[in-house]
């Protein structure tokens, strides 16, 4: 009787073409058998730890620290390993060293009298931490993560115990020799970086890397080199992608948002965008305009922007806003299917009386100085404005750093991701008021639910195609719609009230009514319907999103719909922290369950290094697994099981002589 794992000849013949290709990688029975043994063993390891972050909004220092401390996981590991054998201050010093090895080493050398003794103690401690965090991985996976210059030495230290009598001297000689050859600093740095890498197996960024904070380009530098990453595009990310794809409406919005938060560092230093043409134009055109409604939002105690700088930013802010309204009117005229003609407001201004008509009601304007608008043709760019737009266009398109980062967003990013029974997307899935999926027309065809997000994903990629495609111009324009269109899954509001917030006194016009999704997302049945639509299965399945800050200080909860929906926008951006009362969330999914880590505001990297100040985080258990989740229980495990099945097919084909072993 055949082994139940032994495939039939019919199944082998059905897959013969594929098996012949597979035989090139595993040319013998021995090679195929070894791989089956290896993959079967991996299935029985605990699943790697996944970290979910959203709405980072340029706060690179806080983001970098959260990655380095793995949302408190490093500290927990150090406490578990050393317990009461180390004082609290010693554990804090060790954690800081793991987070910032080079900087901490330099600081230690200014106070430590016996560096040799410090090196001996510290190296033994770091090896213990590294051994613990690497224990859930195969040797092969750890080996791939090792720095090449120290790979052999680290492998020996990780897999040989100093407590073993026969290895005690061997272990200590390695440590002593590292110190004697003056390689301790480099080795410590390598070990700390390895710990940081191993403690987070995969990183999920659920949108909005850009805008508000000053370091989106620095965050992207980190992400582009991260070992295991996926990104779900947010509305602010898609805006920058549209700008990089050549859409001038997106460029104007990027500039306006950056100027609103006095964030010129990302534009100028990060991407080399030349703001001089805009600055020169703004200073000339709005020389006598106080631009009160355009004063940038800066932090209290900010010393980097003096009164003169704020004045210039205000002028530039107003100048690009007016240009934006004109560019968008042309876009709306070009695409009547966007149904956004109500956003063309310049034609509804009574320039003599200083009022505007919106939805049939008249409102007083708070700013009536429009030197570049011709009331008879309000959307026509002046010659000077055209020149500014042209120069900015060239600057955006010519930015090599931006091209590199957008390539990363395209290759690592998507509109949504289904992974390990979790559905990740930034904002919404458009719904009707009755909770059914809403049909949205894209380029003349209706789509809804998963098909809608798939179509949008494809369209975004079309905008960046190297070869001209018929849909390419439309695709670049649609990216702008994704930023501010009412049926966009990344926006999903009745309107973006940009003009009203700048120019209309009455705040009733500032309201941006959210779509039906936001009224219904706390309904467990609606969440289950969305999960079914995206074929997300599993006993414990969740929607994980960001976009709308959770105002914890007002009693809002991140966990909704009886645990089916987890909203993890907790206010990484300093601009939101007064509303949320905290400074961000990390959702952590490890082999024992789901945990939500709530962060307090981060002071500074310098204080973290000098004083050992960590982000104060509190952990809330979202879901505890009754049994430890192993690799076999994950999506990766299902892939490995399919590979094992295919290898058994190949093995049987070899043994039955259907395919000949190579080199036999």
E strand residue ranges, 576-662: 585-590, 593-599, 617-624
Tokens 């600093």 correspond to 185
Burial, 46: exposed, middle or buried (Cβ in 10 Å; 0-12, 13-18, 19+)?
A: middle
- For residue 585, the model assigns a pLDDT of 83
Q: What percent of the chain has pLDDT over 90?
A: 67
- For residue 363, the model assigns a pLDDT of 95
CA angle, 324 then 326 then 331, to 5°: 90
Lowest mean pLDDT of 30-34, 161-165, 490-494, 531-535, name the range.
Answer: 161-165
How far, in Å, CA of 94 to CA of 655, rounded?
Answer: 55
Helices (H), 226-375: 235-244, 248-260, 264-265, 271, 276-285, 307-334
Q: What percent of the chain has pLDDT over 70?
A: 95
Residue 431 CB neighbours (<10 A):
23
The whole-angstrom distance between residue 501's C-alpha and the CA centroid of its chain comes to 29
DSSP assignment of 96-108 equals HHHHSHHHHHHHH
* Res 490 pLDDT > 50: yes
271, 248, 281, 238: which is closest to 485 by C-alpha?
A: 238
Burial, 642: exposed, middle or buried (Cβ in 10 Å; 0-12, 13-18, 19+)?
A: exposed
Helix 151-159 crosses helix 184-199 at what angle (to 10 degrees)? Answer: 70
Q: What tokens appear for 346 in the block?
A: 């310049």
Q: What tokens appear for 243 in the block?
A: 């700008």
pTM of the model: 0.92
Measured CA distances, 532 to 419, 528, 541, 568, 661 (Å): 14, 6, 10, 22, 45
Q: Which contacts qualify for 373-382: CB closer than 8 Å, 24 or more apart?
A: 373/322, 373/346, 375/349, 375/351, 378/326, 378/346, 378/347, 378/349, 379/325, 379/326, 379/329, 379/330, 379/344, 379/346, 379/347, 380/326, 381/323, 381/326, 381/327
DSSP 3-state assignment of 306? coil
* Res 167 pLDDT > 70: no
* Res 408 pLDDT > 60: yes
List, edge to edge, every strand of the sheet that includes 422-425.
416-419, 422-425, 542-545, 565-567, 559-560
- For residue 2, the model assigns a pLDDT of 44
* Res 142 pLDDT > 90: no
* Res 663 pLDDT > 90: no
- For residue 468, the model assigns a pLDDT of 82
Q: What is the mean pLDDT of the chain?
A: 90
Q: What average pLDDT does the segment 482-489 reach?
A: 96
Q: What average pLDDT does the segment 334-360 reach?
A: 94
Q: What average pLDDT does the segment 284-299 reach?
A: 91
Measured CA distances, 505 to 342, 474, 512 (Å): 19, 36, 16
For 2-21, write each residue's pLDDT tens digit: 454 678 888 999 999 999 99
For 1, what's the count of Cα atoms within 13 Å in the CB-facing half-sphere?
2
Tokens 């106070």 correspond to 111
- For residue 614, the model assigns a pLDDT of 67
How far, in Å, CA of 170 to CA of 163, rounded?
Answer: 11
For 88-107, write each residue's pLDDT tens digit: 889 999 999 999 999 999 99
How far, in Å, CA of 288 to CA of 388, rounded?
Answer: 20
- For residue 1, the model assigns a pLDDT of 35
Annotated domain spans of the chain: 9-45+633-655, 50-208+521-629, 234-411+440-513
Per-residue pLDDT band for 583 (boundaries 50, 70, 90) equals confident
Q: What average pLDDT does the segment 157-167 reach?
A: 67
311, 389, 323, 325: which is closest to 356 by C-alpha?
A: 325
Q: What average pLDDT does the segment 516-527 reach?
A: 96
Lowest mean pLDDT of 146-155, 292-301, 375-384, 605-614, name the range.
Answer: 605-614
* Res 343 pLDDT > 60: yes
């Amino acid at each position: 009787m055949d082994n139940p794992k032994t495939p039939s000849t019919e199944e082998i013949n059905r897959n013969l073409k594929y098996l012949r290709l597979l035989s090139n990688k595993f040319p013998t029975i021995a090679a195929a058998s070894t791989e089956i043994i290896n993959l079967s063993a991996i299935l029985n390891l605990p699943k790697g730890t996944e970290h979910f972050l959203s709405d980072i909004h340029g706060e690179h220092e806080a983001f970098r620290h959260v990655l380095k401390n793995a949302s408190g996981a490093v500290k927990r590991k150090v406490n578990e390993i050393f317990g009461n054998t180390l004082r609290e201050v010693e554990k804090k010093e060790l954690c800081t060293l793991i987070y910032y090895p080079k900087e901490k080493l330099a600081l230690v050398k200014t106070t430590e009298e016996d560096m040799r003794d410090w090196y001996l103690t510290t190296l033994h401690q770091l090896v213990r931490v590294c051994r613990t965090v690497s224990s859930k991985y195969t040797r092969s996976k750890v080996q791939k993560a090792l720095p090449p210059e120290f790979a052999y030495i680290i492998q020996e230290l990780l897999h040989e115990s100093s407590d073993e009598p026969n290895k005690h001297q061997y272990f200590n000689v390695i440590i002593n020799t590292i110190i004697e050859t003056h390689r301790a600093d480099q080795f410590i740095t390598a070990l700390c970086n390895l710990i940081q890498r191993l403690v987070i197996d995969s990183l999920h960024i659920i949108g909005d890397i850009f805008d508000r904070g000053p370091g989106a380009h620095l965050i992207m530098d980190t992400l582009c080199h991260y070992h295991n990453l996926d990104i779900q595009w947010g509305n602010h990310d898609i805006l920058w992608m549209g700008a990089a794809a050549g859409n001038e409406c997106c460029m104007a919005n990027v500039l306006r948002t950056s100027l609103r938060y006095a964030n010129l560092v990302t534009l100028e230093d990060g991407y080399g965008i030349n703001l001089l043409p805009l600055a020169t134009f703004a200073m000339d055109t709005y020389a006598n305009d106080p631009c009160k409604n355009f004063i940038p939002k800066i932090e209290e105690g900010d010393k980097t922007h003096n009164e003169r700088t704020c004045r210039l930013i205000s002028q530039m802010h107003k100048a690009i806003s007016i240009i934006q309204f004109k560019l968008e009117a042309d876009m709306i005229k070009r695409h009547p299917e966007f149904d956004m003609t109500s956003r063309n407001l310049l034609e509804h201004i009574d320039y003599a009386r200083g009022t505007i008509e919106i939805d049939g009601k008249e409102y007083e304007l708070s700013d009536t100085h429009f030197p570049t608008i011709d009331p008879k043709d309000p959307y026509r760019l002046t010659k000077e404005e055209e020149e500014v737009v042209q120069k900015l266009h060239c600057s955006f398109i010519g930015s090599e750093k931006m091209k590199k980062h957008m390539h990363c967003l395209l290759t690592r990013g998507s509109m949504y991701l289904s992974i390990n029974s979790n559905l990740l997307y930034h904002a919404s899935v458009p719904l009707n008021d009755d909770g059914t999926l809403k049909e949205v027309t894209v380029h003349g065809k209706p789509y809804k639910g998963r098909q809608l997000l798939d179509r949008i994903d494809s369209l975004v990629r079309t905008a960046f195609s190297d070869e001209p495609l018929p849909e390419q111009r439309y695709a670049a324009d649609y990216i702008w719609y994704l930023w501010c269109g009412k049926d966009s899954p990344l926006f999903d509001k009745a309107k973006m009230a940009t003009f009203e917030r700048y120019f209309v006194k009455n705040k009733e016009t500032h309201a941006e009514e959210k779509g039906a999704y936001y009224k219904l997302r706390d309904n467990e049945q609606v969440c289950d319907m969305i999960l079914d639509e995206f074929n997300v299965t599993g006993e414990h399945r969740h929607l994980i999103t960001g976009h709308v800050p959770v105002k914890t200080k007002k009693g809002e909860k991140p966990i909704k719909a009886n645990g089916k929906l987890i909203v993890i926008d907790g206010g990484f951006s300093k601009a939101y922290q007064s509303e949320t009362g905290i400074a961000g969330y990390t959702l952590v999914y490890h082999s024992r369950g789901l945990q939500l880590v709530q962060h307090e505001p981060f002071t500074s990297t310098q204080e973290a290094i000098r004083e050992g100040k960590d982000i104060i985080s509190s952990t809330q258990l979202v879901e505890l697994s009754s049994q430890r989740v192993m690799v076999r229980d994950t999506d990766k495990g299902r892939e490995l099981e399919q590979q094992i099945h295919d290898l058994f097919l190949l093995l049987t084909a070899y043994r039955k002589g259907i395919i000949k072993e190579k080199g036999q």
